[in-house]
Amino acid sequence: MRGKKGVSKSGSAPRSSPAQRTLKDWSPHGTIWLQQTLIDRRRETMTQNRSAFLSFSLALLVLGIPACTRKAQVRFPVEQYQALVQEGDNVFQKGHLWAWREADRRYEKAWAMAQSDELLEQRVLCLTLQITRERDELIFGSEARRRLEQLSPVTRPKLRLLLALADAYGQPKASLPADLSSLPFDTLLDTQSSPAESYIYLLCLKTFHPEKYQEAEVALLERHKQSNIFRYSAPMEDEEIDHFLQLESEFAELRVFRGHSCFQKTELAKAREQFEKTVELLPDHAEAVNALGDVYLFGFRDSAKALEQYEAALKIDANNIKSLFGKALVLHYFGQYAESTRFLDILLSEKQKWDHLSDRQAQYYQGHAYYYKAYNAYLSENHSEARKWIDTAKGYVPNFGGVYYLSGLLYYRLREMEPAASDFLQALEEGREYCDAPYYLGLIDRLRKGEQTSAYFLACGDCYRSNLLEARKRVEGIPTMDISEPEKLILKGKLEKDILDLGQTAGKILNDILRILPEIEFEGKELQTQLLTEVFQELQAAAGSPD
């Protein structure tokens, strides 16, 4: 039933289409609803935009590439990141240089995924430990410093302290930035529960407050005595080190220490094994390579293999003082005197490297470098150069008998008998290996018409006899050495050659003494002549000569 035109049965106005309606066609309640709907949709759009922005930012952070170039969303590899950090932490706890290097390789991979504050702190700590330990081991590579520089700048006081330590450790007169100098180190580092930070704390004291170091070291060594990181400085017996290395075979620094101990005991195979294993773990450990050279030169008496090791060490560190000296020494033994002197000159010119040695070590290498320069000049008949360098050497190694013996020879050749006698006497006081010294003293005393000629000659014979007995003992001890049978055979041949050379050289001296004795008068002449004749015969036999 239709009502008035335009009015429905319900009395409401006829509905217009949605396209015909305007905001004023709605009731006040409908207007509020529409406004709220529009606001809700705007919020939804903003939330979606924010999520998209965060995804974009994460892509930039994690993947390091523009997110706009990726069509699909990339999922952050949380499990891989956590696994790398955990692996790094597990290796880090081993507490030695090889472990810290391996730990940071894992940290660096995790760092490429996400650069958190926690990982930053662990990397700075790990790299600082590497740098300080490398300094202690005389490893001068730049890789750890390069990695640490990539993490700079840092703002937190703790991290700035670690960076300051990495820069200053081992340097004379180290100083802290002003704002850090007033902060107690133990407020920045956990010395109660963290062995690594306790160790860093000690290094900070050693570097910036050395007067406080010793007292703190005793307390922290006791607190963390079961931690590997403190075994580096804690006293350990050889057997204890051997047992520990069975459990922690990658502790290269302890292997170097054990290798030197074996070498001093003439355990050549064990020493070689320790140094070789060290080089496998730390290929840039020039000191271990150099130590291998020493084992071959002074232990196995193999100059050629020793030279190979010294040259290998110089490829790692071209200015290594010990390797330069070792190479110069081998060249001297080979009779290449000019080339030997060239390397000694390189050694003496590397002044920046002397700071890395103790005062005693620096004096030893400088003194012996000048001594061998003098010796090379002497053997090259350049006596004026020899005099200059031997006098310089005396200032560095005043207790080395070799410098006085060579100095005495130079004076004797110039017929300067007073200073020659003084130097020969000094050589005798410093060591019994210079058996020619009493021979020359006897000749000088005879020229002076003194009364000690025969006594000096007898001392010469006694010295040669002692040296001969020692040489024979070394040969007799070869069967008990820990080297292989072929190596024993080779070493025996070289030591027997030493005895042969000793017999020939000393035999000439004793022959001259026996020629002079009848020309002088002294008490006990017959007995002394008999004794020296017996020594001469022993030396002749050693030289393989007929009586």
Q: What is the pLDDT of residues 264-308, one digit of tens each?
A: 999 999 999 999 999 999 999 999 999 999 999 999 999 999 999
Q: What is the mean pLDDT of residues 162-181?
A: 89
Do 531 and 492 lie in a common domain? Answer: yes
What pLDDT does 67 receive? 39
528 pLDDT band, cuts 50/70/90, is confident
CA dihedral sign of residues 197, 198, 202, 204: positive
Query: Between vectors from CA 285 to CA 279 and to CA 286, what angle results, nearest 5°?
Result: 110
Do 82 and 223 lie in a common domain? Answer: yes
How many domains in the chain?
A: 3
Do 291 and 190 lie in a common domain? Answer: no
Do 116 and 222 lie in a common domain? Answer: yes
CA distance 387 to 153: 55
Q: Compute CA distances 320 → 224, 286, 303, 373, 395, whole Å.
A: 34, 8, 19, 18, 23
- Are 130 and 147 in contact by the 8 Å Cβ rule? The answer is no
Residue the block writes with tokens 């290498």: 365
Closest CA to 424 of 393, 456, 391: 456
Residue 194 counted as domain residue: yes
Q: What is the pLDDT of residues 371-416, one digit of tens each?
A: 999 999 999 999 999 999 999 999 999 999 999 999 999 999 999 9
Do 260 and 188 lie in a common domain? Answer: no
Range of the domain at 518: 435-547
Percent of the chain clearing pLDDT 90 (strictly above): 67
CATH number at residue 535: 1.20.58
7 pLDDT band, cuts 50/70/90, is very low
40 pLDDT band, cuts 50/70/90, is low
Higher pLDDT, 526 or 43: 526
CA distance 424 to 437: 5
Q: What is the mean pLDDT of residues 107-112?
A: 95
How many Cβ atoms from other residues are within 10 Å of residue 94's Cβ? Answer: 17
Do 214 and 260 lie in a common domain? Answer: no
Asked which of 317, 352, 376 is the last residue of a domain, the reply is: 317
Question: Tokens at residue 427, please?
Answer: 């050589």
Do 307 and 285 lie in a common domain? Answer: yes
What pLDDT does 476 receive? 94
- Are 286 and 313 in contact by the 8 Å Cβ rule? The answer is yes
Residue 261 counted as domain residue: yes
Indicate the SS3 state at residue 358. coil
What pLDDT does 39 receive? 46
Residue 411 counted as domain residue: no
**Burial track 498-536 (b if 16+ CB lie within 10 A, e otherwise):** ebeebbeebbebbeebbeebeeeeeeeeeebbeebeebb
Q: What is the mean pLDDT of residues 57-66?
A: 43
